[in-house]
Amino acid sequence: MFNALVVEKDESSGKTHAEVKELSSEDLPPGEVTVAVEYSTLNYKDGLCIGPGGGLVRSYPHVPGIDFAGTVETSEDDRYAPGDKVVLTGWRVGETHWGGYAQKARVKADWLVPLPNGLDTRQAMAVGTAGLTAMLAVMALEDQGIKDGPLLVTGASGGVGSVATAILAKLGYSVAAVTGRPDNAEYLAGLGATTIVPREDLAETIKKPLEPETWGACVDAVGGPMLARVLGQMAYGASVAAVGLAGGAQLPATVVPFLLRGVNLLGIDSVMQPYDNRLRAWNRIATDLPMDKLEAMVEPAALQDLPRLGADILNGRVTGRVVVDVNA
């Protein structure tokens, strides 16, 4: 038997309820590899899946947790043997397949990657899906060519924003971090941000399609009117890596920044990343992410804390990365 955070739905009221329960290995979904999970994390999507599902969960009872790191217990796939350390992100695990908020998980071998050298399972989850996404965004910006000027990170106190800020600062860029929480200025400076941009400076809907060329690249976790505004402030030929929509799904923008400034809008999806890309990104994380900075981002949690923390992340009240010790 093992512990898991199980979300159940009352079909008559449509309401969901999440609580820690005991499950047995026979309850687990099919898959080639069974993993003794050590750590998982809290991401925005987990907040949705702990609650009413937000269209992500297909059937109940459900075990959320879109990422995890742990040790292989049994494997029917040649690539993995008992005792191997592994990391999982994406592939709709924690959404349509039971995820990492449990002491055991069973998944397809293709969805895993070996834990990169230089990271332990806790560090890997301090990075987690948010950090992997931040690294994929940085790699996409590098592929396009980063232009002169400070680099902008929006939603900077969040999981993706915190890791993106730390990576870009470690790579030697001057990072401007946008936040709606002025009391997080010291935290963001500690991650390496050189300038703090108050959220309200970019909150107003665009009045002019182009403003002075300001940013050499941008990692955007916010979307919505802020992204529209940022597009008009990019340097000529610069790129924005769009990762999220914490500030809204609508994009009230004009085409002018694309036409007259050659701005690139790059969509970043961590969920369906093929094995080679995930491995490349994890290996870059192991070398390019300052681990002391990572530790400063971590808020530890246990399975029973997740119903409360899930509501917090949906309300933008979480700072950095919540790392869940499933054995705590």
Query: Contact with ligand NDP (CB under 6 A): which of 161, 192, 232, 310?
Result: 161
Stretch that binds ligand NDP, among 77-85, 180-188, 233-241, 295-303 (CB under 6 A): 180-188
Q: How many CB atoms lie within 10 A of CB 292?
A: 8
Figure out which of the listed residues 31, 94, 244, 310 binds ligand NDP, where binding follows CB under 6 A. Answer: 244
Give the Cα separation of 185 and 114 in Å (integer).
36
Q: Is 92 in the site for ligand NDP (CB under 6 A)?
A: no
Shortest Å, Cβ 318 to ligand NDP: 5
Which residue is listed with tokens 């800020």? 165
CA distances to 70, 77, 90, 325 from 73, rounded to whole Å, are: 9, 12, 21, 18
For ligand NDP, the closer of residues 103 and 133 by Cβ is: 133
Does residue 318 interact with ligand NDP by CB under 6 A? yes
**According to CB under 6 A, which one of 18, 219, 313, 323 is a site residue for ligand NDP?**
313
Mode of pairing for the β-strands spanning 151-153 and 175-179: parallel
**189 binds ligand NDP per the rule CB under 6 A:** no
Residue range at the interface with ligand NDP (CB under 6 A); choices 20-28, 49-57, 241-249, 253-261:
241-249
In a 10 Å sphere around its CB, with 0-12 CB exposed, 13-18 middle and 19+ buried, how is residue 144 labelled? middle
Both structure tokens of 293 = 């900075």
Under DSSP, the state recorded for 152 is E
CB of 229 to ligand NDP, least distance (A): 11
Task: Enter the DSSP assignment of 96.
Answer: T
For 112, residues 6+ apart whose C-beta sits below 8 A from its C-beta are 33, 35, 80, 86, 87, 88
- For the segment 16-45, give every residue that binds ligand NDP (CB under 6 A): 43-45
Asked if 271 interacts with ligand NDP (CB under 6 A), we say yes
234, 241, 279: which is closest to 261 by C-alpha? Answer: 234
| Complex with ligand NDP: residue 75 or 264, whichever CB lies closer | 264
Task: Choose the binding region for ligand NDP from 51-59, 74-82, 208-216, 312-320 (rule: CB under 6 A).
Answer: 312-320
Which residues make up the interface to ligand NDP (CB under 6 A)? 43-45, 129-130, 133, 155-161, 179-181, 184, 199, 221-222, 226, 243-247, 268-271, 313, 316, 318
